[in-house]
Amino acid sequence: MLLASGRPRASYEVLVDAQSAAVVRVRDRLKHDTGKAALFMPNPIVTHGSRDVLVDDDDADSTLLTSLRTPVTLQRLRKGTICLQGRFVHATLPDGEVCAPGADFAGVTRADDQFEALMAYVHVDRTAAYLESLGLITRMLMRPLPVVANGSEKDDSDYDPAMRLITLGSGGVDDGEDADTIVHEYGHALQDAQVPDFGESDQGGAIGSGFGDYLQAATDAQRATSATFNPCMSEWDGMDFSEPAPVQCVRRTDGDLTAADVGPGTECDTESHCAGEVWSGALWRIRALIGGTTADRLVVQSHFALTSTADFVDGSIALIVADRALYGGVHEQVLRDVLNERGLLDHKWPFMAVTGKLPRKRTVQRTRSFRVTVEVSEPGTVRVSALLRRGSNQRLRVAKSRNVTFAVAGKRRVTFKVTRAGLRRLKARRRAVLRIRARATCASGRTFPVVEVSRRLR
C-alpha cells in the first residue's frame, strides 16, 4: 500500500503480510537531494582488519587512514540544501553549519572537523532508515535529530534529553570518527523518544546503555561489516595507543554476564555502562537465535511498554509482550530461556502489560476516545488511568479511570472516553505526554509491578 505523510514528509510504500498483517518492509519513495563523502565504515580498525600501524597522531591525516575511507552517498538531504540537514538528522559543528557546493564533501579527510559531522550525519541517517524499513522510526523521531560533532573537548559523548541533542566529544580519538559511538548515542535518543525520562532507575540506566551497545552491533551486523568486530564496541574511539593489545573494545555485546554479576557490591556496582553488558549480551544472544531483523524489530517495539523507572524484569516482560504482539508469541520460549539464564526475568513474577498504539492528539480530539489492551498473568483487579503529563510533576486526568476485573489470566480491551475537561486540556497544550498507567493486585494478594505506556502528543 502507499501512504503519504506530512510530518515527517514522506511517501511510504508499505509491504504487509496478507496472512499475519505484520509489516514486512517500509520504504520512503519521496525523492530527496543527495551528496558525496568518503568516510569510515564503521571505523578504520574494522576496515583495516586490525589496529596494526594505525595511530591517531592528534587527528592528523596519514596515507593509510585516508585510504581506509569508503565512498558514500549522503542520502535524504533536505531538498535544495548544501548542508548536513536531512530528514532524520541535522549535523553541525560548534561554530555552525557544515556546507559544501553541491553537497560534495568527497575531499574531506579526518584532519578536517567537517569529517566528524559527516560521520554523524551518515551513520544516524543509515540507522534511522534501517529502523524505518522495519516499520518503526516514523512513530518516534518526527523531526531531524540535532547532532553537534566535536561539541566537547572531553573524551566522551552524550545525549541530552532536555535539548534532544547528541554531542560528540573530541578528546583522545574524536568520537565522531567511530560509528559505534555515534549509533550508541542515537540509541539513547531513540529510547527517550519512546519513553520520556527513561532510565531513572539503576537497572533502567543499564537497559539504556545496553540497548545503545546492541543497536551499534546490530546495525554493523546488518551491513555485513565484520562478524569478528560487530560485538566489539568503539574499537577506534576507545583505543589506548600505549597498550600492545591487538584490539581494545570499550564494551562487548557477546558476553555471558548475569544480573548477579553487576549488582551492588560487584565490580560493576550497578554502574550503567558496565551493568548494561548484561542486557546487551542477552539481546545479542536472542538476535543470534531468532534472526537479525526479527530481533531488532522486537527489541525496539518492546520499549513502548516500558516506563521511566523500568528495571530488568520490566524490560524482560516487555520483550515477551512485544513478541506476542508482533509474532504471536512464537519466540516466547527462546526469550524466557535466555532471560532466565541471565537472571533478568523472575519466572514466578506476576506480570501485567498494557499494549496498543496510543493515538495522535488530533485523533483523540476527533474521536473523543481511545483503546488499549490490558493483559495479566493471573486473576486480579486492574485500575487503568489516562493522564496528561506536563513538566516534571503535573499530572492531569483526561478520562475517567477504569477498573477491570480478571477472573482468569488473559487480555481485555479498555476504552477511555475523553472528558470535556480532558479535551480542553489537550487543546490548551501544544506538547504534552499522554500516559496510561495501570495498577493491579493479584487475587492471590501479590502486587503486580505498575505499568505505564507513554506517547508525546503533538
DSSP 304: G
Same domain, 56 and 173: yes
Look at residues 184, 186, 311 and name the one whose alpha carbon lies nearest to residue 252: 184
Final residue in a domain of this structure, among 177, 194, 211: 194
Q: All 3 cell numbers of residue 302?
A: 518492546
Residue 61 CB neighbours (<10 A): 13
Residue type, 209: S
Of residues 153 and 364, more confidently modeled: 153
Contacts of residue 170, defined as CB under 8 A and 6 or more positions apart, other chains included, come to 59, 116, 150, 152, 153, 176
Task: Indicate whether 137 pLDDT > 90.
Answer: no
pLDDT digits (tens, 9 = 90+) for 170-214: 999 999 999 999 999 999 999 999 998 899 999 999 999 999 999
Q: Strand, helix or coil at 333?
A: helix
From the number of C-beta atoms within 10 Å of its C-beta (0-12, 13-18, 19+), residue 258 rates as middle
Query: What does pTM read for this prediction?
Result: 0.77
Final residue in a domain of this structure, among 307, 341, 375: 341
Same domain, 106 and 54: yes
CB 277 within 8 Å of CB 253? yes
In the chain, count of helices (H) and strands (E)? 11, 20
Look at residues 168, 180, 163, 167 and name the one whose alpha carbon lies nearest to residue 127: 180
Percent of the chain with pLDDT over 90: 53
Q: Is residue 39 part of a domain?
A: yes
Task: Indicate whether 159 pLDDT > 60.
Answer: yes
Query: Using CA atoms, how far apart are residues 301 and 310, in angstroms rounded to an integer?
Result: 15
Same domain, 386 and 239: no
Same domain, 39 and 175: yes
Q: What is the CATH number of the domain that holds 414?
A: 2.60.40.2550
Q: What is the CATH number of the domain that holds 25?
A: 3.10.170.10
Residue range(s) defining the domain that contains residue 307? 225-341
Task: Indicate whether 8 pLDDT > 60.
Answer: no
Q: Is residue 213 part of a domain?
A: no
Query: Using CA atoms, how far apart are residues 185 and 152, in angstroms rounded to an integer?
Result: 14
Measure the CA dihedral 306/441/332/413, to 10°.
-80
Query: Using CA atoms, how far apart are residues 69 and 38, in angstroms rounded to an integer?
Result: 5
Contacts of residue 285, defined as CB under 8 A and 6 or more positions apart, other chains included, come to 338
DSSP 14: E
Q: Is residue 206 part of a domain?
A: no
Same domain, 8 and 132: yes
Q: Please say whether the dihedral angle defined by the alpha carbons of residues 7, 208, 229 and 287, taken in this order, is positive or negative.
A: negative
Q: Strand, helix or coil at 349?
A: coil
CB 69 within 8 Å of CB 39? yes
C-alpha distances in Å from residue 375, one per residue of 321, 322, 405, 446: 9, 12, 11, 16
**Total domain count, the chain:** 3
Same domain, 424 and 356: yes
Q: Is residue 216 part of a domain?
A: no
Q: Helix 114-133 crosses helix 202-222 at what angle (to 10 degrees)? A: 90
Q: Is residue 63 part of a domain?
A: yes
DSSP 362: H
Q: All 3 cell numbers of residue 297?
A: 524489530
Average pLDDT, the chain: 87
Query: Using CA atoms, how far apart are residues 151 and 157, in angstroms rounded to an integer?
Result: 9
100 HSE (CA, 13 A, CB side)? 17
Same domain, 272 and 176: no
Q: Can you give the pLDDT at residue 244?
A: 64
Task: Indicate whether 245 pLDDT > 70.
Answer: no
Task: Indicate whether 35 pLDDT > 80.
Answer: yes
| Helix residue ranges, H only, 241-397 | 272-290, 292-302, 312-327, 332-341, 361-367
Q: What is the CATH number of the domain that holds 299?
A: 1.10.390.10
Q: Please say whether the dihedral angle defined by the alpha carbons of residues 330, 331, 334 and 335, taken in this order, is positive or negative.
A: negative
Task: Indicate whether 89 pLDDT > 70.
Answer: yes
Query: Using CA atoms, how far apart are residues 454 and 306, in angstroms rounded to an integer?
Result: 8
Same domain, 283 and 386: no
Final residue in a domain of this structure, among 311, 341, 371: 341
Same domain, 18 and 162: yes
Q: Can you give the pLDDT at residue 437?
A: 82
Same domain, 128 and 106: yes
Same domain, 147 and 280: no
CB 293 within 8 Å of CB 314? no
Contacts of residue 413, defined as CB under 8 A and 6 or more positions apart, other chains included, come to 371, 372, 373, 374
Query: Using CA atoms, how far apart are residues 379 and 407, in angstroms rounded to an integer?
Result: 5
Q: Is residue 347 part of a domain?
A: no
Cα angle value 298/303/308 (rounded, 5°): 165
Same domain, 296 and 381: no
Q: Is residue 200 part of a domain?
A: no
Q: Is residue 286 part of a domain?
A: yes
Task: Determine the average pLDDT of the residues in 46-68.
Answer: 93
